[in-house]
Amino acid sequence: MSIQPTQPVLPTVSQEFIQEWLDALHGYCPASQVDDFLTRTGLNALAGQGRGRVTHDQIVRLYHIVAVETGDEMMGLWSRTIRHGALKLLCCSVLGASSLAAAMHRFATFWNLLLDDHSLRLSEGRQTLRLHLEPSSDAQISPFGHVLLLKLAHGVASWLVRRELPLTRVGFTFVRPDFAADYPVLFPAPIQFDQSTSSISFVKSLGDLPISASEADMQPFLQRAPRDWIFTSFREHALPLQLREMLLLSDRMGSTLNDAALALNITPRTLIRQLKAEGTSFQAIKDGLRCDLAMRDLASPKNIEAISQDVGFASPASFHRAFRGWTGETPGQFRRRVRG
């Protein structure tokens, strides 16, 4: 029996991916307030585990709570508070642009009025339109802040033209983290670390696209924030996400690395090398998908034996061991927590 999900199986991210955000909150808010944020989003159960997985819904919920209750729409990640209403004003500004390139210039100008120790710059090459985020020489770099601002730029650009825009390259000034395999969940492009600036790049011709979003589209976009701009829906532009889709369509995760290489028309050795360059492996991608499927199904009445079979385990005992290794909890503990 093939796994045929009735709802999207969205990739989770590691707890480490949002840890810097949580650390920034501890420096920005009283400890009791941060504890309240984590309790209301279910993230308190992951405290101290180091192996937990964080869902899209938890990140979106945390963003909503923190942005409203701290009055900072960038949640303490920058040296200056980004007050409530800034993102609405940003959207109003870019809507009036004559083209996508002009809108990205306005995006950069807007943030340059707000940020003290970073600047945004739009550059045009022969084939590339690139938005750079450049820290000043004495700036304290916030990796999650860089991620969030570049994702906002990509999300706003995609919203303006009513389709998710492909990126040709993403770069970050900070060194590759241990959880680099989480980055394709946000950015549908090759990702490089330890660069001179943080940046996102588009094919230059996309800059000529007209703005098709309207003022009527703005409120729904802002109300759903950051769901519409922080996570990518692309699969074809990021190799790990392509492989997730391939595994999802296979019979009980039956696709092998050789099957995947054949489908991609490359050798298994080349596939291994490409995945290693992205900080992951075929087995890590398979285990990540298994974990995401299991977490989704454990929130339903489906019995654990059926879940273990559907995600490709020969026995519930093997599934229990693997799930505990992925999340630090047994399937039963996870189920009780998420279902109350």
Residue type, 268: P
Tokens 């696209």 identify what position? 209
Report which DSSP code applies to 251: G
Residue 25 has pLDDT above 50, yes or no: yes
Mean pLDDT of 323-329: 88
* 88 Cβ neighbours under 8 A, 6+ residues apart: 218, 222
Q: What is the dihedral of CA 82, 226, 289, 275, to 10 degrees?
A: -60
Q: Cα-flanking dihedrals φ and ψ of residue 307, to 5°? A: -65, -45
Identify the sign of the CA torsion 229, 181, 318, 41.
negative
On whether the CB atoms of residues 211 and 103 are closer than 8 A, the answer is: yes
Task: Identify the CA nearest to 41 among candidates 59, 26, 53.
Answer: 59
Q: SS3 sequence, 1-17?
A: CCCCCCCCCCCCEEHHH
pLDDT at 6: 42
246 membership: H or E segment, kind and range: helix 239-249
* pTM for the full predicted model: 0.80
Longest dimension (CA), the chain: 60
Mean pLDDT of 109-136: 95
CA–centroid distance for 36 within its chain: 24
pLDDT at 2: 37
Q: Which tens digits make up the pLDDT trace of 30-61?
A: 999 999 999 999 888 766 555 678 888 899 99
Of 4-13, 97-106, 221-230, 325-334, which range is least confident? 4-13
Query: Model confidence at 307, in pLDDT bands (50, 70, 90)?
Result: very high
Beta-sheet strands, E only, within the chain: 13-14, 53-54, 118-124, 128-135, 169-171, 191-192, 198-203
- Both tokens of 68, joined, read 């409203």
| SS3 (DSSP) at 172 | coil
On whether the CB atoms of residues 132 and 149 are closer than 8 A, the answer is: no
Q: Distance between CA 142 and CA 274 in Å, rounded?
A: 28
Q: Distance between CA 125 and CA 174 in Å, rounded?
A: 24
Query: How many CB atoms are closer than 10 A to CB 68?
Result: 11
